[in-house]
Structure 1
């Protein structure tokens, strides 16, 4: 069974995965656009999420072994996936996989840096496309410029609608291509800001507890 959801908050994601386990759906794999589950006996599973990437497979295996020795089974994630999912194995191990608040907050910092890096990767590409006139940022303020039919906006009646409806599918394709990169940059920066906000909130909670 597949479920399509997107989270920017690890705590909310953990709570949702726990709720799914109580309903008899065992989490087995994270995909690009969602989650894969398989039928299982309902259980009160404790699932925790970390965010780490590794250059070497050996480092990734050592990372998994460290948590498994502490009573947490690695149930999903690869060395390059970033998101790492752990499930408490029986009654062994503590309630948390993180030794302190800084470790818990650090996953949000790493996630924020990842989103920011992706945004930065798109900025030079966008600049090149704009400088070569492959993309015209002006269309965001003047969508009519995407229509190339001569004299379209001076037509009236049936002649206008025939020309308008004929060209609109092509306009949508051109428009999506031109706004795709700006939209992706905005989304990546937004996700980065959300993760950074949660990082700061987690750090502030540490100060309040002390």
Structure 2
């Protein structure tokens, strides 16, 4: 079974994947385009997500080996995203972050991930809007009556598409803030 889904929040993605496991579908692959591949299973699994910067082959091999030593199975996902997918049979030892320090490091990596993608979208927004704005139809705002409405309605879907990077800035900023709050609460304990 294949499902298409897009996420801007790694924790919501993990929650959704675990919901699929509860329904009896184990994830076997994740493409960079948001296509998740599942297979039916009778066993109870749990999935956990981790974010790691792009690791050299040697460090990735060591990183992968540590998790595999504890029974986790690596699921192929989009390599450039930095999100790593780990799955194993539910045995009661289902957390990949065993202490406060590893959890706080995870939250720091997530904040860097969100802020990096947010700044990248902000840069694209600047490039898109700096000279032209959202509506590119020449003389649109000086048109009158029926011509204005036809041009305006024709251009609006394109304007909404051009506003997508700005919307993504807001989504990544919200994601950053959510993770920052969790990090702050963890550090206060």
TM range (shorter): 0.7 to 0.9
**In 2, Cα distance between the equivalents of 1:7 and 1:24?**
25
Offset at residue 49 of structure 1 (A): 0.9
The CA RMSD measured in Å over matched residues stands at 3.3
Give the TM-score normalised by structure 2: 0.75
174, 179, 182: which one aligns with 1:201: 182
Give the TM-score normalised by structure 1: 0.69
| Aligned partners of 2:30 and 2:78 also within 8 Å | no
| Aligned partners of 1:101 and 1:202 also within 8 Å | no
CA deviations over 1:27-85 (Å, ceiling 9, x no partner): 12223453413332233212111001224122212111111012211123355331111
Q: 1:126-205 maps to which residues of 2 (within 5 A)?
A: 126-127=125-126, 133=131, 135-136=132-133, 146=137, 148=139, 152-153=143-144, 155=145, 160=146, 163-164=147-148, 166-168=150-152, 170-172=154-156, 175-176=159-160, 179-180=162-163, 183-205=164-186
Report what 2:9 is aligned to. 8
Report what 2:69 is aligned to. 69
CA deviations over 1:127-156 (Å, ceiling 9, x no partner): 45555x2x237x6xxxxx956369632x4x
Q: How many residues of Structure 1 are paired with residues of Structure 2 in the alignment?
A: 188
CA deviations over 1:152-179 (Å, ceiling 9, x no partner): 32x4xxxx2xx345424542365246x4
Gap regions ≥5 residues in structure 2 = none
Report what 1:142 is aligned to. none
| Aligned partners of 1:25 and 1:37 also within 8 Å | no
**Against the structure 1 CA distance between its residues 150 and 205, is the aligned structure 2 distance closer, same or farther, given a 3 Å change threshold?**
closer
Gap regions ≥5 residues in structure 1 = 140-144
